[in-house]
Amino acid sequence: MNLCLLKSKIHRACVTGASLDYEGSLTIASDLAQAVGLLPYEKILVGNMGNGERFETYVIYGKEGSGAIELNGATAHLGQIGDRLTIMSYAWMDVAAAATHHPKVIVLNAKNLIDRSSV
């Protein structure tokens, strides 16, 4: 049997930009994505804490150290600059691996700097 568990989470990420004309995805500053093990083009689930929207998309890396969290394409309709997001990824694993698994989690402050971490 395999189980789907939370692999990584970026909590309270503040939206810094939006581009309706972009082809899609969520831009995440590369250092933030790498801190929780998110890879470019990895599927993510995003929850907007301000309006309750939830959507799936994929990661693209933004400039390291920029704090970028940008809604691209259709997702630009699902939030606005300043909204807080929870960004999650999941992984399938067998029961033995699941028993000892701990997700990588960071909590960001208002400037998208890491405030707390369980990485």
Q: What DSSP string describes 42-61? A: -EEEEEETTT--EEEEEEEE
For residue 15, the 8-state DSSP code is P
Q: Give the closest residue to 82 by CA, choosing from 2, 16, 28.
A: 16
CA atoms within 13 A on the CB side of 78: 22
Cα separation, 66 vs 54, in Å, equals: 24
| The pLDDT of residue 98 | 97
Catalytic residue among 25, 30, 61, 89: 25
In the residue annotation, 89 being an active-site residue is answered as: no
Digit-coded pLDDT (tens) for 31-46: 999 999 999 999 999 9
**Domains with residue ranges and CATH for the chain:** 2-95 (2.40.40.20)
- Clarify whether 25 is annotated catalytic: yes
- Which residue is catalytic, options 19, 30, 41, 58? 58
* Helix spans in 41-109 (H): 95-100
Tens of pLDDT, residues 85-103: 999 999 999 999 999 999 9
Q: What is the pTM of this model?
A: 0.96
